[in-house]
Amino acid sequence: MSSVIETIQTLLVDLPTIRPHKLSMTTMARQTLVIVRMRHSDGIEGLGEGTTIGGLSYGPESPESIKRNIDTYLAPLLIGQPSGNLNALRARLERHARGNSIAKSALETALLDAQGKRLGLSVAELLGGARHDHLPVLWTLASGDTRKDIDEAFQRLEDRRHCDFKLKIGANAVDHDVRHVAAIKEALGDRASIRVDVNQAWDEATAVRGIAALQAAGIDLIEQAIPAREHAGLVRLSQRFLVPMLADEAVQDARDGLTLAASGFSGAYALKIAKSGGLQGVLELAHVAQAAGIGLYGGTLLEGTIGTAASLHAWATLGEMAWGTEMFGPLLLKDDIVVEQLTYHDFGVDLPKGPGLGITLDEEKLAHYARNH
């Protein structure tokens, strides 16, 4: 008899960050992970994670809503169903539940982790096989203090931890942000690639002015300068400037990717398993981008180790990530809830080994940081 899904438990886990992390929409001092523990009748447990940024600051799902919607609506759709047919289970969720891409991503991750453990295969092997076992990882300089950011960048270079850096801007006046970014680029010179993420903070006119100045300062990539739904404006910006545009919130899934590419967008897409409802959905978007000649970038919602590992298994199957990845989420946290942490070295991170995600929970740490436990 085939295995069936028996129980799905969700936990809110609050982990402090190593420093305040400033974005255009919020400043983070902790990250809340929604951890999924999916148990099957054959005794196997699959792990998943759903994470967003700053409660409701980033998008329509909060950690609390992710947990509640899994517990109330999504878990009942899966409990009692056969464990092994991931396509059928994914279709069942899509048929009965709208949206909730982060919650669905957490569940799909848990299903893939369990299936990998069941078959003795890694998640990357389930997805066709890893083409890389070490992926580049950038670091976000988000203290907001120019001198601190420069010192932090030089330390990361010295440690061979990161050689590409992203700056979160948009919360301040454009001229202030440009001076901040330009000073960091000047200090680092050719030793590092500098990119910026505006997090949708500018209108198109402001973006034209800001991007022109950033391009002159030698910035390599501009992420989501204007609101996500302004596709036409994003296309115009991509065609106006030599510095590439990175579409993030504007491309949730493969359909968005096709629409934007067909409209004449050039540049890159930020891939995030949370945006696309899971690993299979994000790879569908990646394949659309590859067919359209659009670059790939492995993005994050600042997931912990479980969510980061899931993303790495997906990115490892892709031929080229032209703009690397930002899978540094665990490094932003003061502590972790796993037994063996990810291995960061030589400006990147190793793909975890072992069946499934290759991740084991530290039960004591989980109990310590779980909310209301």
The residue range of the domain holding 161 is 126-350
CATH of the domain at 293: 3.20.20.120
Residue range 33-60: mean pLDDT, rounded:
94
Q: What are phi and psi of 330, to 5 degrees?
A: -60, -30
Does 50 lie in the same domain as 159? no
User: Per the domain annotation, does 38 fall within a domain?
Assistant: yes
Average pLDDT rounded to a whole number, residues 60-78 = 97
Instruction: Tell me the per-residue pLDDT of 233-250, one tens digit each, with 9 for 90 and over.
Output: 999 999 999 999 999 999
Residue 357 lies in a domain: no
Cα angle 128-133-137, degrees, rounded to a multiple of 5? 115
What would the mean pLDDT of 331-343 be, rounded to a whole number?
96
* Residue 338 forms part of a structural domain: yes
Q: Is residue 228 part of a domain?
A: yes
Residues in the chain, total: 373
The catalytic residues are 168, 326
Q: Is residue 356 part of a domain?
A: no
Same domain, 52 and 83: yes
φ, ψ (nearest 5 deg) of residue 22:
-95, 130
Which residues, in sequence order, are CB contacts of 117 under 8 Å at separation 6+? 44, 46, 355, 356
Cα distance between residue 60 and residue 265, in whole Å: 26
Q: What integer is the mean pLDDT of 90-106?
A: 97
68 inside domain: yes
pLDDT band at 25 (very low <50, low <70, confident <90, very high): low
Instruction: With CA atoms as reference, report the closest residue to 251 among 296, 291, 310.
Output: 296
Q: What is the pLDDT of residue 1?
A: 58
112 in Cβ contact with 123 (< 8 Å): yes
pLDDT in tens, 140-191: 998 889 999 999 999 999 999 999 999 999 989 999 999 999 999 999 999 9
- Residue 370's CB is within 10 A of a number of other CB atoms, namely 15
* Contact of 308 with 342, CB cutoff 8 Å: yes
Give the distance, in angstroms, between the CA of residue 286 and the centroid of all CA atoms in the same chain: 14
Q: Flag whether 355 is in a domain.
A: no
How far is the first Cα of the chain from the last one, in angstroms, to the nearest whole number?
36
Residues 111 and 136 in one domain: no
Give the H/E segment covering residue 77: helix 75-78
Can you tell me the mean pLDDT for 35-64?
94
pLDDT > 70? residue 341: yes
Residues 38 and 132 in one domain: no
Confidence of residue 56 (pLDDT cuts 50, 70, 90): confident
pLDDT tier for residue 320 given thresholds of 50, 70 and 90:
confident
